[in-house]
Amino acid sequence: MERIYEKVLLEHAKEHRQMLFLAGPRQVGKTTTAKTVADQSERSLYLNWDVQEHRRIILAGENSVASKCGFDTLSGGVETVIFDEIHKYPRWKLFLKGFFDLFADQCHIVVTGSGHLNVFKSGGDSLMGRYFLYRMHPLSVAELLNQTLVENEIRHQQELPDKKFETLLAFGGFPEPFLAANKRFYNRWRRLRTDQLLREDLRDLSHIQDIGRVEILAENLIHQAGSLVNYSTLANSINVSVDTIRRWISSLESLYFSFSIRPWSSNIPKALRKQPKIYLWDWSLISDRGSRNENFIACHLLKAAQWWTDIGLGNYQLYFIRDKERREVDFLLTRDNIPWLLVEVKSSGKSKLSPHLTRFQEKTGAPHALQVVIDHDYVDGDCFSLRRPAIVPAKTFLSQLV
């Protein structure tokens, strides 16, 4: 199926010489998208670190890849080179820096990976200025409706059929289980993906040996999605140190199993300042309806924040607000470090408008404060035209994001 990321990759190739980094969870569609974009070129080369023959070519050095590309022939060689999962190569940054410096004027370079393509940890082989990062997310309501690029954050509202909305909520946004919409296929896919992530990717990229206890930690995080992270409780439950829990959670986040959002405290009296909340990239793993609904909205907001940041509209960050008197709003989205959107999530439209939205809108000055209700019917109206706290349907609100 067509993804919005295909459009931004094609636009990037036309306008920029920098490498394009496409990072995201395993099986979210990175390789398929990159190959689809490469097919728009007359000639392309795909090299996957997990394929032994491709690995041999990469290990032989930049000139080996250039020869495979045909840069030493009159024809001029390939137009697009894709390096898939190359972050598993310990010297991947040094290799890409050398290849880019030598051959950037002869081809477009696309790098995909299911681990975080974090290029800032070592200074000697920095890729600063040589790449743009795009973070690929699972399918969302807005992406199912429209894959066109727009010039600002907010899209015009559209209605997604109820059946597709319920399928997305039940089976998650990863393309294969969503398209299959079959419980037996989903169960098998989920088990295989989880095994690959924890038993292969985690071991290979983090060198963690105690995989069994990390699996218990991952199961605990599934049950605690949307809750404040209590490192001491988690450490005691599986008999490891707090530092080990922090390190293991960081490793799970680097593989896109989970993500944390931190509390916003500026201008909030007695605000919670340190303890984060944790969510999953795959909301379908969560059995509790309320927690799944909140995680569903969290994923949509994170996708929007990272998409808007990656395409250059500004710097967007996702937080939550909670004070020591337990007054809370589920999410705060900031734009260039200024509060912009408050979101409270409710499963049922029977819930009254949360008074905390009014309180924290006054404290933060955020122009939008919305209570997003999952089971409300679609309304053909612009949620972002509202400047006072209001109840809006999730089906309308999410269609206006990404």
- CA-CA distance, 81 to 70, in Å (whole number)? 11
Nearest Cα neighbor of 65 from 50, 47, 48 is 47
Q: Where are the domains of the chain?
A: 4-135, 141-399
Angle at 20 between CA 113 and CA 122, to 5 degrees: 65
**Per-residue pLDDT, 118:** 60
Nearest Cα neighbor of 314 from 131, 155, 153, 129 is 153
**Per-residue pLDDT, 116:** 63
Three-state secondary structure readout of 5-26: HHHHHHHHHHHCCCEEEEECCC
**Per-residue pLDDT, 41:** 84
Q: Would you give the DSSP letter of residue 134?
A: E
Angle at 186 between CA 183 and CA 187, to 5 degrees: 90
- CA-CA distance, 401 to 86, in Å (whole number)? 31
Residue 25: what residue type?
P
User: Is 65 in contact with 99 (CB distance < 8 Å)?
Assistant: yes
**Per-residue pLDDT, 211:** 92
Residue 319: strand pairing partners: 262, 332
Three-state secondary structure readout of 180-220: HCCHHHHHHHHHHHHHHHHHHHHHHHHCCCCHHHHHHHHHH
Output the CA–CA distances (angstroms, integers) from residue 138 to 163, 262, 290, in the order listed.
18, 22, 20
Q: With the C-alpha atoms ordered 232, 236, 242, 246, is the resulting torsion angle positive or negative?
A: negative
Q: What CATH class does 4-135 carry? A: alpha beta
Which residues lie closer than 8 Å to 99 by C-beta, 6 or more apart?
A: 62, 65, 66, 109
**Per-residue pLDDT, 284:** 98
Residue 392: strand pairing partners: 372
Q: With the C-alpha atoms ordered 191, 196, 199, 205, is the resulting torsion angle positive or negative?
A: negative
φ/ψ of 258, rounded to 5, equals: -140, 170
Beta strands across the sheet bearing 108-113: 44-48, 80-84, 108-113, 19-23, 131-135
**Per-residue pLDDT, 123:** 46
Predicted TM-score (pTM) of this structure:
0.95
What does DSSP say about strands 258-263 and 108-113: parallel, antiparallel, or unpaired?
Answer: unpaired
- CA-CA distance, 233 to 248, in Å (whole number)? 14
φ/ψ of 392, rounded to 5, equals: -135, 150
Q: Which two tokens stand for residue 256?
A: 């896109």
For the stretch 324-359, pLDDT in tens is 999 999 999 999 999 999 999 999 988 899 999 999
φ/ψ of 12, rounded to 5, equals: -60, -45
| Segments of the chain with pLDDT less than 70 | 116, 118-125
Q: Which two tokens stand for residue 237?
A: 């439950």
Which residues lie closer than 8 Å to 167 by C-beta, 6 or more apart?
A: 178, 181
Which residues lie closer than 8 Å to 269 by C-beta, 6 or more apart?
A: 323, 363
Q: Is 81 helix (H, G, I), strand (E, B) or coil?
A: strand
Q: Which residue has the tokens 């990159």?
A: 34
Q: Which residue has the tokens 């820096």?
A: 97
For the stretch 139-156, pLDDT in tens is 999 999 999 999 899 999
